[in-house]
Structure 1
Amino acid sequence: MRAQSSATTPSRIAVGTAGTDPGGRSLGTLQAALGVVAFSLTFPATAWGLEGFGPWSLIAVRSVLAAAVAGACLLAVGVAPPERRHLPGLAVVGAGVVLGFPLLTTLALRTSTTAHAAVVVGLLPLTTALLSALRVGTRPSRTFWIAALAGAAAVIAFTVQQSGGALTSADAYLFAALLVCAAGYTEGGRLAGVMPGWQVIGWALVLCVPLTVPMAAVALTYEPVALTAHSVTGLLWVAMGSQFLGLVVWYRGMAAIGIPKASQLQLAQPLLTLVWSVLLLGEHLTVAAPLTAAAVLVCIAVTQRARG
């Protein structure tokens, strides 16, 4: 009976109850927040990468590089292959966060600014919470949902204000990216309750190698490459920071504090990306940005205090 109890604890944490240890919750919140910071640099880094790589080359090469690092770590530690029952979940993680989200957002960023993309993807926390409720049966409180919807409304209002109310093909890519990424986050958060978070993304990257290596070979043949300081830095960041290290701490954080609450921390991600877009890309923002930032931060505070 004692062994059965310890085995069920991780999955309970992963779906959102988050245990009762205040220190564990604080560390989990910090880890999830570090993941958000890493993700907030993804769009500016992608824009830099597109200066020297085609979209297909950038996606494939970043995945291959991240898989090489992840595979080396798994081999060095001597991690056993994942159990057969975990392979479908890892496939969802791979399809969502290794291939789908990077590809769709990179295609969007060919015609969209990073600021616009950031605010559209700001709907990711609500999308993740919804899929989490459907997939793993989490039941956040009414206060949680009110705050989450308010944060999403603020993001939508900012998006509409920035785009003048007109949706583009880039928005279609971004909305599709929301769905596949939310599915990958939800499944990854669930798996992080039964295996370390770095192994979740590590195995997902390795399992995608049969697709990403041929894709990289073909894309590099047909798309021109210009190795500049920006393009190389952007590639290295999206491969190491966004694709691997950021997801390691992100999944660990989700396992500790629960998928819905961790996902709400991402409400801060579009605002951080806006800051990076100004500092790194020289994009210009409207006065609506600080107002949206204040509204989003209030919503984050409420969701982190609301009980499931």
Structure 2
Amino acid sequence: MDRVTSGWINGLIGVVIFSASLPATRVAVMQFDPVFLTVARATIAGGLAVFLLFVFRQKRPGRSDLVSLVIVALGVSVGFPLLTALALQHITSAHSIVFIGLLPLSTAIFGVVRGGERPRPAFWIFSTLGSALVAGFALTQGASASPTGDALMLAAIVVCGLGYAEGARLSRTLGGWQVISWALVLSLPVMIPLTVLTMPQTFTGVTLPAWLGLAYVSLFSMLIGFVFWYRGLAQGGIAAVGQLQLLQPFFGLALAAALLHETVTWTMVAVTVAVIVCVVVARRFARQERARLTAQPETSYTPSADASRGR
């Protein structure tokens, strides 16, 4: 199997893993407090990250990387999980998945802010159109939707886009999965005490599905998914494999219907498709400038290579 094909396969596995995050969070938040769920998943994933970094003897990040790692931790490890957990107390996972169609756009916008890219005006036209479609969908739901849940999902998309863009920028020097691992480790001194403080007095009555939801978002959504995702980006190219993220709403809607028996309306599907079309066109107009700015070779880290160098 050639490197590019392997990259697409790894990227697809990562997207499928991320697609189950919202349905799993929806199941878990029915019986766990959203704050406890957020800090507990970060603590569990952070413990696994410590183990992996120690076993593979990964080099420590430099002082200049700390600010970026804090941004990644706040956006991906804390912000997005907490905001989505809070949102899913008000809306269904099927409804929330529509907003995920804006995640590639959010990441691209922060790529402009943090990476200095300058897309053409057509990029912003389709970006605005996609945002308007999502906002219009939320407004037309009326009593069946929650303005609070929608606002929380929009905030989650913003902070996650920032975390993805910052992580992608940092991965060029630090390595792919190492970025999320060090971000998780960096958050542990705060996450562990908060996990103890927010832990319920008793776990009596917590059912198996809730425990499975917690386990999934802790191990797969917070860490394992990033292993495949960043490996796919490194092997197949960020611009090419990154397009696979546009499939996430489709996978998520299918999982919400199959696992949670939630209703997926034709309007949800239509808006999701329309948003994806807008994002695809917008990214096409941004591709030329992004390619010029990212033409320099990126550093690709492998555990064996770092192990040979040691700490």
TM-score by length of 2: 0.80
What is the alpha-carbon distance in structure 2 between the residues aligned to residue 265 and residue 141 of structure 1?
A: 23
* Corresponding residue number in structure 2 for 1:80: 59
SS at match of 1:208: helix
**Cα distance change of structure 1 residues 223 and 151 upon mapping to structure 2, 3 Å threshold:** farther
Matched, 1:238 2:217: yes
> How far, CA to CA, are the matches of 1:140 and 1:231 in structure 2?
43
Conserved 8 A contact 2:46-2:188: yes
Matched, 1:258 2:238: yes
Residues 1:190 and 2:169 aligned together: yes
CA distance in 2, matches of 1:254, 1:167: 36
* Aligned 1:212-231 pairs, distance under 5 A: 212-221=191-200, 226-231=205-210
Written as runs of structure 1 = structure 2, the 5 A alignment for 1:116-195 is 116-140=95-119, 155-156=134-135, 158-162=137-141, 168-195=147-174
RMSD: 2.9
1:76-109 Cα offsets, whole Å, 9 max, x none, are: 1111211111111111110100011100110111
- Show the counterpart of 2:73: 94
Contact 1:90 1:200 in 2 (8 A): yes
Q: For residue 174 of structure 1, give the secondary structure of its aligned residue in structure 2.
A: helix
Count of residue pairs brought into register by the alignment: 285
Aligned partner of residue 32 in structure 2, secondary structure: coil
The letter for the 2-side match of 1:70 is A
Q: Are the counterparts in 2 of residues 108 and 171 from structure 1 also a CA contact under 8 Å?
A: yes
Structure 1 residues 162 and 40, CA gap change in structure 2 (3 angstroms): farther
Deviations 1:117-146 (A, max 9, x none): 111232111111011011112345677666
Partner of 2:293 in structure 1? none
Instruction: Note if contact 1:55-1:107 (Cα within 8 Å) is conserved in structure 2.
Output: yes
Structure 1 counterpart of 2:37? 58
Distance 1:121 1:304, change over 3 A: closer
- How much identity, in percent, do the aligned residues show? 39
Change in Cα spacing, 1:223 to 1:191, as seen in structure 2 (3 Å) is: farther
Does the residue aligned with 1:199 lie in a helix, a strand or coil?
helix
The 1:296–1:25 alpha-carbon spacing in structure 2 relative to 1, beyond 3 Å, is farther
* Cα drift, residue 226 of structure 1: 3.7
Distance 1:24 1:150 in 2: 36
What is aligned with 2:13?
A: 34
Q: Which amino acid in the other structure matches residue 32 of structure 1? A: G
Shift of 1:293: 5.4
SS at match of 2:206: coil
- Quote the offset at 1:248 in angstroms: 2.3
**Which residue does 1:68 correspond to in 2?**
47
Aligned counterparts of 2:284 and 2:55: Cα–Cα separation in 1:
40
Match of residue 226 from structure 2: 247
What is the rounded CA distance, in whole Å, between the counterparts of 1:33 and 1:60 in structure 2?
27
- Match for 1:108: what amino acid? A
- CA-to-aligned-CA distance 1:206-236 (integer Å, 9 cap, x gap): 1100111011001104686643210111011
Q: Find out whether 1:286 has 2:265 as its counterpart.
A: yes
Unaligned runs of 5+ in 2: 289-311
Spell out, residue by residue over 1:42-93, the C-alpha distance to the aligned partner (whole angstroms, 9 max, x if none).
1110111123321122111111111111110111111121111111111111
Q: Which residue of 2 aligns with 1:12?
A: none
Query: Deviation of residue 288 (structure 1)?
Result: 2.9
The answer (yes or no) to whether the contact 1:129–1:263 under 8 Å persists in 2 is no
Where structure 1 has 5 or more consecutive residues not aligned to the other structure, the ranges are 1-22
Shift in Å at residue 169 of structure 1?
Answer: 1.0
Q: 1:304 to 1:252 in 2, by over 3 A?
A: farther
Normalising by structure 1, report the TM-score: 0.80
